[in-house]
């Protein structure tokens, strides 16, 4: 058995309402909110970035795991907003956690699916018995050009997962991936903000990859959506995941626990992993979880999990759940966010 041993997540306490972003740009705020299906989003503070958020999430994961930090044999961080163009985030986070020397480290970048890519790579290392435990993190301070519609959804958060073969709370049953060269979203070297192909990001990009990876995994497992208790998707907005769930045959009830985009926006590499954390917070032994990520450029990872009896003891530990972090928030106005972005870009 190999899978998730522990996890932690971090959501910045600052929030901004999507209507407040739309208004200064003369957009119809009600139409924007209804069209995107997002009410508010999480915003990183001036002193927060991918590294600090990844560290916060990883500290939670380690504090809830019955292992020593020296047993971590690999640290992988998936993000498209690493603070350094040339210097790994993974080594900074590892040192802050007290992991030093004999471990494998790497930064991953595959748009919004870099977090699940890290999870599958760590899982493979564990299964191959190259490491005993590994740390996979998805974290982003999502970027968007001021005035771009993307600014209404780009959020900030981090999710960290420790994987191993002992004290597993959620076993990885199997996985599939689907990848193509589909240029729906990109940012060239030296550019401050990403570009996107507007509606092209839907049918030939998000839907084609998520549906293909998901269908392949269901066929591989000889299972149907009804065999799962929960489903989690990458959430670029509030409408795409609902549509893909409906097309595959998953219900609103299966998706609801991990459907966080309405309240935190799209934290890119952390999106689907945050949804998984929220789902694991309330999952029971014997239940099955279906997850499918998506990363522009483009690709999807579909993963099936089986929740073990170990989840009961894990949930009883003193932890900071997703719900607690959703409830702890402080609203800021659009000009504060704009000023923070200017300060961050000047550093």
Q: Match 């970027």 to its residue by tokens.
A: 143
- Kindly report the CATH number that applies to the domain delimited by 3-169+312-346: 3.40.47.10
Residue 346 binned pLDDT confidence (cut-offs 50, 70, 90): low
- DSSP assignment of 173-206 equals EEEEEEE----SEE--TT-SS-EE-GGGGIIIII
Q: What is the pLDDT of residue 97?
A: 97
Q: What is the pLDDT of residue 160?
A: 98
For CATH 3.40.47.10, the residue range(s) in the chain are 3-169+312-346, 171-308
Q: What is the pLDDT of residue 140?
A: 97
Residue 193 has pLDDT above 90, yes or no: no
Residue 298 binned pLDDT confidence (cut-offs 50, 70, 90): very high
Q: Match 């493979």 to its residue by tokens.
A: 124
Residue 20 has pLDDT above 60, yes or no: yes
Summarize the confidence of residues 126-139 as an average pLDDT.
98
Task: With beta carbons less than 8 A apart as the criterion, state whether 328 and 13 touch.
Answer: yes
48 classed as catalytic: no
Q: What is the pLDDT of residue 341?
A: 63
Summarize the confidence of residues 71-81 as an average pLDDT.
97
3-state SS track over 100-114: CCCCEEEEECECECH
Which residue is catalytic, options 80, 152, 209, 292? 80
Output 21 or 230, whichever has higher pLDDT: 230
Q: What is the pLDDT of residue 24?
A: 79
82 classed as catalytic: no
Residue 199 has pLDDT above 70, yes or no: no
Task: With beta carbons less than 8 A apart as the criterion, state whether 238 and 262 touch.
Answer: yes
CB atoms within 10 A of CB 130: 12
Task: With beta carbons less than 8 A apart as the criterion, state whether 45 and 23 touch.
Answer: no
List the structure tokens of 79: 């993000």
Cα angle 241-244-245, degrees, rounded to a multiple of 5 = 85
Summarize the confidence of residues 52-63 as an average pLDDT.
98
Instruction: Give the span between the Cα atoms of 77 and 68, in whole angstroms.
Output: 20
Contacts 24+ apart (CB under 8 A), 127-131: 127/2, 127/165, 130/73, 131/73, 131/74, 131/104
Which residue is catalytic, options 40, 56, 82, 112? 112
Helix (H) or strand (E) holding 6: strand 3-10
SS3 137: strand
Residue 30 binned pLDDT confidence (cut-offs 50, 70, 90): confident
Residue 196 has pLDDT above 70, yes or no: no
Residue 337 binned pLDDT confidence (cut-offs 50, 70, 90): low
Residue 266 main-chain phi, psi, to 5 deg: -110, 100
Residue 142 binned pLDDT confidence (cut-offs 50, 70, 90): confident
Instruction: Give the span between the Cα atoms of 325 and 197, in whole angstroms.
Output: 33
Residue 66 has pLDDT above 70, yes or no: yes
pTM greater than 0.85: yes
The residues that bridge with 108 in the sheet, in sequence order, are: 78
In total, the chain counts a number of residues equal to 347
216 classed as catalytic: no
- DSSP assignment of 291-305 equals EE--BTTTEEEEEEE
Q: What is the pLDDT of residue 153?
A: 92
Q: What is the pLDDT of residue 347?
A: 61
Instruction: Give the span between the Cα atoms of 114 and 174, in whole angstroms.
Output: 18
SS3 57: helix
Which residue is catalytic, options 82, 234, 292, 310? 234
Q: Which of 157, 151, 174 is nearest to 278 (CA)?
A: 157
Q: Architecture of domain 171-308 in CATH?
A: 3-Layer(aba) Sandwich (3.40)
**Of the candidate ranges 42-46, 199-203, 276-280, 296-300, the one whose mean pLDDT is the lowest:** 199-203
Residue 146 has pLDDT above 90, yes or no: no
Residue 202 has pLDDT above 60, yes or no: no
Residue 60 has pLDDT above 60, yes or no: yes
Pairing outcome for strands 299-307 and 72-78 = unpaired
């Amino acid at each position: 058995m190999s899978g998730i041993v522990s996890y932690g997540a971090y959501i910045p306490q600052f929030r901004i309402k999507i209507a407040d972003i739309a208004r200064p740009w003369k957009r119809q705020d009600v139409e924007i909110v209804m069209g995107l299906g997002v009410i508010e989003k999480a915003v990183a503070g001036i002193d927060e970035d991918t590294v600090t958020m990844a560290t916060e999430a990883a500290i939670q994961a380690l504090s809830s795991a019955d292992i020593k930090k020296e047993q971590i044999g690999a640290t992988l961080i998936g993000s498209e907003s690493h603070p350094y163009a040339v210097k790994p985030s993974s080594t900074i986070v590892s040192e802050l956690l007290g992991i030093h020397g004999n471990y494998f480290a790497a930064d991953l970048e595959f748009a919004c699916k870099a977090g699940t890519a890290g999870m599958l790579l760590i899982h493979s290392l564990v299964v191959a018995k190259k490491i005993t435990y590994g740390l996979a993190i998805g974290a982003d301070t999502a970027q968007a050009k001021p005035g771009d519609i993307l600014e209404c959804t780009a959020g900030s958060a981090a999710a960290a997962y420790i994987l191993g073969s002992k004290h597993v709370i959620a076993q990885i049953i199997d996985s599939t991936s689907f990848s193509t060269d589909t240029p729906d979203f990109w940012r060239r070297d030296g550019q401050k903000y990403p570009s996107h192909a507007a509606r092209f990001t839907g049918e030939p990009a998000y839907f084609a990859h998520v549906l293909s990876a998901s269908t392949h995994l269901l066929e591989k497992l000889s299972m149907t959506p009804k065999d799962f208790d929960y489903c989690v998707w990458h959430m670029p907005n509030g409408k795409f995941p609902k549509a893909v769930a409906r097309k595959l045959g998953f219900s609103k009830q299966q998706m609801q626990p991990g459907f966080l985009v309405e309240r935190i926006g799209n934290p890119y590499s952390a999106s689907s992993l945050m949804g998984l954390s929220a789902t694991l917070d309330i999952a029971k032994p014997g239940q099955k979880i279906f997850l499918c990520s998506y990363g522009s450029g483009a690709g999807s990872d579909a993963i099936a999990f089986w929740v073990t009896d170990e989840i009961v003891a894990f949930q009883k530990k003193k932890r900071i759940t997703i719900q607690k972090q959703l409830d702890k928030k402080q609203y800021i106005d659009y000009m504060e966010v704009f000023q923070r972005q200017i300060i961050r870009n000047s550093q």
